[in-house]
Amino acid sequence: MSTTNRPTNNNNSNEEEVDLGSLFVIIGKGFTKFFNFIGSIFKGIFHVIISILIFLKENTIKIGIAAIVGLIVGVFVEVRKTDTFESELLLEPNFKSARQLYENINYYNNLVKQKDTAGLVKTFKLDKQYAASLKEFEIEPIKTENDIINSYNDFILSVDTTTVKSYTFLEFKAAFTSYDYKIHKVTVTAKKNNIFDKLDDVIISSVVSNKYFNKLKGLTNRDLNRTDSLYRQNLTHIDSLRKVYMQVMVEEAKKQTTGTNIDLGGEKGTTKELELFEANRKINNDLRNIASQKATKYDVINVISNFQPIGTKIKGVTKNYAFLLGALGASFMIVFLLLLKLNKYLGNYKK
C-alpha cells in the first residue's frame, strides 16, 4: 500500500513546483515589462532634451542674430520712449457696489484706448495736456482666502441648516467672483507723474453718487443705530437687575449673621447673577460688532489708500523694450526654424 502511494505524492509535488515556477516566471515578466516601461519614459525624456540641445547648437548663430536685431531695435525704441508712471488706489466697496466700480474703471480705460481726450477732460475736469497723458486704467481684487472664509461664515449664519448642508464650501468658493473680494486695487498709468491726485475723487464719487447705493447706506446705518440703541437700553436694564440682586444678597447675608435661617435668594440668586453677567458680556460684544459695522458701512466706498501725489516710474526688465524685443526676435526665429523642419518632414513623409 505504501509503495503504490509514493509515485502519486511525487507527481503532486512536481505539479506544485511547476505551478510555482510558472507563477514566478509570470511575475518576473511583469517586473521586466514595468521596468522597461519606466526606462522607455526616461529614454524618451532624454531624447527630447538631446534633440532640443542639438537644434539649439545647429541654429545658435541664426537665433543669436535674431536676438541681437531685436535688442538693437528695442534699445532704439527704449531711448526714444517717454517715461511712464503709475499709482495705486485701494478701495473697499460696500453694498455690492464693486461691480459698478469695475464698470466705471473699464469705461475710463475705453476712453483712453479710443484716445477720447475730450471725454477724459469732461470726466476728470483735466487740462487737455494732462488728459492726453493718461495711458491705462486697471482694476483687480486683492485676493485673500480669508475673504472667502468670512463670506462663507456670514452665509451660514444667514441661511437655515438644510441650505448649508446642500451647499458646501467648495461650491461657495467656486461661485466666488472678483466682485466679492473685500479690497480692490485701481492702478492708473500715465506719462505725467503729477496727475494722480486729480483722479481719485472722480473715481470714488462716480459710485458714491449712485442713488441706489446711497439708499442702501441710509437704511443700513439707520438699522445699525436702532440696534445699537436697543442694546444699550438692554444693558441699562441688566445693570439695574444686577444691583437689585446684589442688594438681595447683602440683605440675606445680614440675616444669616443674626441667626435667621430664612433663604431669600440662596443659590438661585447666585445663578441669576451669573446669568446677568453673561448677558452683559454678550451685549457688550454685540455692541463692539455693531461699532465695527458702523465704521465700515458708514460710506458706500471706504478708501484704504489714496493715489500718491507723485507717481512711481515704471521700471524693470520685463518693462524694458530692449529685453522684450530681443526675446521676441529669438522666439520668432525659433518658431520659424521649427516650421521649416516641420515642412521638410512633411515633404519627406509624402515620399
Query: Residue range 80-105: average pLDDT?
Result: 86
Number of neighbouring beta carbons within 10 Å of residue 245: 18
Residues with Cβ within 8 Å of residue 124, at least 6 apart in sequence:
131, 198, 199, 202
Give me the residues paired with residue 92 across strands.
302
pLDDT tops 80 at residue 101: yes
What pLDDT, on the 0 to 100 scale, is given for residue 2? 47
pLDDT digits (tens, 9 = 90+) for 203-227: 888 888 888 888 888 888 888 888 8
Distance of alpha carbon 287 from alpha carbon 110, whole angstroms:
45
Calpha distance 288→18 (Å, rounded): 83
Residue 257 pLDDT grade (very low, low, confident, very high; cuts 50, 70, 90): low
Q: Give the span between the Cα atoms of 345 and 63, in whole angstroms.
A: 21
**Is pLDDT larger for residue 119 or for residue 235?**
119
The CA-CA-CA angle for residues 181, 187, 193, to 5°, reads 155
Phi-psi region of 95 (alpha: psi -120 to 50; beta: other; left: phi over 0): left
What cell was used for 177?
467672483
- The mean pLDDT of 180-203, rounded to a whole number, is 88
Which one is predicted more confidently, 3 or 316?
Answer: 316
C-alpha pair distances (Å), 239 with each of 233, 243, 252, 302, 320: 10, 6, 20, 36, 69
Give the distance from CA 130 to its chain's centroid: 34
pLDDT band at 17 (very low <50, low <70, confident <90, very high): low
Average pLDDT, the chain: 78
Q: Is the pLDDT of residue 14 over 60?
A: no
Q: Percentage of the chain surpassing pLDDT 90?
A: 6
Q: How confident is the model at residue 1, as a pLDDT?
A: 44
pLDDT tens for each residue of 47-83: 888 888 887 788 888 888 888 888 888 777 766 666 7
Asked if residue 18 has pLDDT above 70, the reply is no
pLDDT reading at 12 higher than 90: no
For residue 33, give the H/E element and its range.
helix 2-58
Average pLDDT over residues 171-196: 87
Q: What pLDDT is recorded for position 316?
A: 58
How many CB atoms lie under 10 A from the CB of residue 332? 14
pLDDT tens digit string along 117-166? 888 888 888 888 888 888 889 999 988 888 888 888 877 877 666 666 77
Could you write out the DSSP letters of every residue in 143-181? --HHHHHHHHHHHHHHS-HHHHHTS-HHHHHHH--GGGS
Question: Considering Cα of 113, then 117, then 121, then 123, what sign does the dihedral take?
Answer: negative
Does residue 7 or residue 45 have the better pLDDT? 45
Of residues 1 and 151, the one with the higher pLDDT is: 151
pLDDT value at residue 184: 92
Per-residue pLDDT band for 90 (boundaries 50, 70, 90) equals: very high
pLDDT of 317 over the 60 cut: no
Question: Which helix or strand (DSSP H or E) is residue 137 part of?
Answer: strand 134-141
CA distance 190 to 130: 9
